[in-house]
Structure 1
Amino acid sequence: MKKGFVQTANFRLLKEAEKIVERRGAREAGLVLIQGKYGIGKSELTERWASENGHVFIRSKRVWTPRSMLEDVATALGLSLRGTAKDVENRIAHHLVQTMQTLIFDEADYLADMKSAVKLETIRDITDVTGTMVFLVGMENFPAIVQRYEHIASRVARIVQLHPLGLEDVQAACKAKSEVRLSPALVEKIHHDSKGRMRHVLNAIANIEVWAEANSWAEVDVAHVKGKALCVDFTGHLTARGV
């Protein structure tokens, strides 16, 4: 599979949100929530977006404590971990005031739940002091969790709903990533079978490349892959089996 990144409609949504929040009125309203179904490519999209724009991408962890979260943020910023948690937080805030770097927290569902939002409150404190933007990338129900904490929800400048890939996005992905030529009909089948999830689209392309190499296919059409599973949807498989 070819290397490279596909600028999908979701990527353009992120760029639009960034421009709008940069011009916000209230400096402390610097939180942006990014929500979407699993498998549509949120992590790859936001990580690539971060690298292209000088933002700091941090993958949240289930085992994080407020202290270990601060340590991971400080490490991502190249800062010292010496001192108390408050020392580390102050160091982060001082750095962000100078650089105004945007922070992106992937798997943000780990930052809060229905019982506690201590880690999210720490992030809120940092944005209040620095005015920097923070993008929180979570699953579909993440905004509903944040809404339970009004003092944090009031800092949310925008909610970005990422969508499954459209046919044009899948066409662009297949053109950019596939090592073999795919017929238009096969690309449409990939779009249908993947349900617009980038993870499944990439798996389908990888599978097709293996079959094409084994059979010396220069171009692959629907007839070549008849009866083959282009991409495995585990939940769909279980549903079909009545599980």
Structure 2
Amino acid sequence: MRKQFVKTENYSRFTAGIQAVEQRGAAEAGMMLVHGAPGFGKSHIVGHWAAESGAVFLRANVDWTPKYCLVELAKAMRVDPSGTAQQLFSRLLERVVETQTPLVIDEAEFTLHQNAAALEKIRDLSDRAEVTVVLIGMERIQQSIARHRQLSSRIAQVCEFTPSTMADVAQACRQLSEVVMSPELVAEVHRLSGGRMREVLNVIAAVERLARLNGLDSMDVADLEGVALSFDWQSRTARTVRKAGGR
């Protein structure tokens, strides 16, 4: 499989949201919330943006405290992580103001423990340095943050990641697959994946593997009828390719 970045509709909505945050009127409203079900490409897309923009990308842990959060951020920004939380915050604020580095917090649910104490530290950095902060979470994180008025009032944009469209999957197959897929097979990739880009990649890899085993450089539905290319973990059943023209 080729190593390329696919610009999906979720990517387009995310970058439009980022642009809106960066052009905001209220300097302190510098947060963007990205949420959605697992497998829709949140971390991958935001991580790609972070790499391109020079943002710091952190993944929160279940045991994050305000100090733990600051220490992890200091390590990522090559700031001395020693001393008290107050001393560490001061050093970090100086560095963030100087560099204007955007911050990304993945698994942001873990910042909401202890009355969102860890996220309050991130919010304080964002307020004072006037930098963009992207929070990535699951479907219900928006409701959880809404309970904290001081935090929710700082969120300038919300981007919900949704299932990949047929056009997204077709683009992924064109860019990533080293095997030519017929339009009918691409439609099956979309159906089998349920629009989850993570699963799209798994199905593409399975198609490529079968093509190599059979010495083929192109594949159609007829080549894979009845073959399991995906697995539904909820129902614990294999997802197989339908017959050509089947329902």
Shorter-chain TM band: over 0.9
Match of 2:245 in 1: none
Match of 1:172 in 2: 171
Q: Deviations for 1:187-218, whole angstroms, at most 9, x for unmatched residues?
A: 11111111110110000011111111111111
Q: Does 1:75 align with 2:75?
A: yes
Instruction: Count residues in correspondence.
Output: 238
1:233 CA drift (Å)? 2.5
Q: Deviations for 1:107-145, whole angstroms, at most 9, x for unmatched residues?
A: 1111115x6211111111111111111000001100100
CA separation in 2, counterparts of 1:92 and 1:208?
Answer: 48
Match of 2:91 in 1: 91
CA separation in 1, counterparts of 2:40 and 2:232?
Answer: 13
SS of match in other structure, 1:231: strand
The amino acid of 1:134's aligned partner reads V
Root-mean-square deviation (CA, aligned residues, Å) is 1.4
TM-score normalised according to structure 1 size: 0.94
Match of 1:34 in 2: 34
Unaligned runs of 5+ in 2: 240-247
CA separation in 1, counterparts of 2:14 and 2:182?
Answer: 31
Q: Check whether the contact 1:29–1:155 (CA below 8 A) recurs between aligned residues.
A: yes
SS of match in other structure, 2:134: strand
Q: Which runs of 4+ in 1 moved over 2 A?
A: none
CA separation in 1, counterparts of 2:176 and 2:190?
Answer: 15
1:106 CA drift (Å)? 1.1
SS of match in other structure, 1:144: helix
Q: Deviations for 1:38-81, whole angstroms, at most 9, x for unmatched residues?
A: 11111111111111122111111112222111111111112111
Unaligned runs of 5+ in 1: none
TM-score normalised according to structure 2 size: 0.92
**Identical columns (%):** 39
Q: Does 1:189 align with 2:162?
A: no
CA separation in 2, counterparts of 1:146 and 1:203?
Answer: 33
The amino acid of 1:141's aligned partner reads R
Q: Does 1:112 align with 2:112?
A: yes
The amino acid of 1:109's aligned partner reads E
SS of match in other structure, 2:229: coil
Greater shift, 18-27 or 197-206, is seen at 18-27
